[in-house]
Amino acid sequence: MENQTVPTDMPTRDRILASARKHFLALGFQAASIRKIASDAGFTPGALYGYFGSKEELFYALADPPLSRIMQKLNDIENEMMTLPPEKRLFGMNAIFYSQIPELADLIFEDRAIVNLVVNGSKGTKYENFLAELVGRNIHVICEAAENVEEKNIRMVDEETLEILMEGYIATLFHLIVSGRDKQTVIRCMGLFGKIYETGILSLIKKENECDL
């Protein structure tokens, strides 16, 4: 991590952010050094505190904007799901999600590296449990939907299993997103994983009705 590799034809704040980005991505929040971030930006550490109150605030200045855009999109998707009548919601959610994958991917790919950072290098910040919280949110939505499903004759997989599947799905999606593959591949595979989990789950449900798993 050499000195002064960040372009100098930018406002100070942006130079600091560019340098911080580089260091946080390479080392994670904890291992990155304010001193090196500053010197790499061409400033002294003190300068940094004119713009950001602390190392953590600096991190959030990088992570918050893309993260909140993504969270907003997820909220939108969730809200759209909520417009479905409750008894059709569980099986309609997927279609809505699939249809939004390209837009969601666009959003994520606007700054995929930051998503990676939040997922893998945010220990010590408010995002350190980001993935777990995301899973929690989705579980909540799905479970509500599952309670209102109309076909009472098919018994759903139990809630814990659902949670685990959801965790697996989300972990897998983020693993994929963060893996460095190109956007088209990621979009394709997000759909792929969706179908795999869907098909798998449906086969589970059928089997549950026929016999015991």
- For its own copies, the closer of residues 74 and 176 by Cβ is 176
- For DNA, the closer of residues 33 and 100 by Cβ is 33
Find, among 60, 64, 32, 51, the residue nearest to 125 by Cα.
60
Chain residues that interact with DNA, rule: CB under 7 A: 11-12, 32-36, 38, 42-47, 49-50, 53-56
Near its own copies in 129-188, by CB under 8 A: 160-161, 164-165, 167-168, 171-172, 175-176, 179, 181, 185, 188
CA angle 142–159–103, rounded 5-degree value: 25
The tokens of 144 are what? 């509500």
DSSP string, 23-66: HHHHHHHHH--HHHHHHHHTS-HHHHTTT-SSHHHHHHHHHHHH
C-beta atoms surrounding 200 within 10 Å: 11
Of its own copies, DNA, none, which one does residue 42 interact with (CB within 5 to 8 Å by kind)?
DNA
C-beta atoms surrounding 169 within 10 Å: 18
80 binding its own copies? (CB under 8 A):
no
Q: Which residues bind its own copies (CB under 8 A)?
A: 28, 30-31, 123-124, 160-161, 164-165, 167-168, 171-172, 175-176, 179, 181, 185, 188-189, 192-193, 195-197, 199-201, 203-204, 213
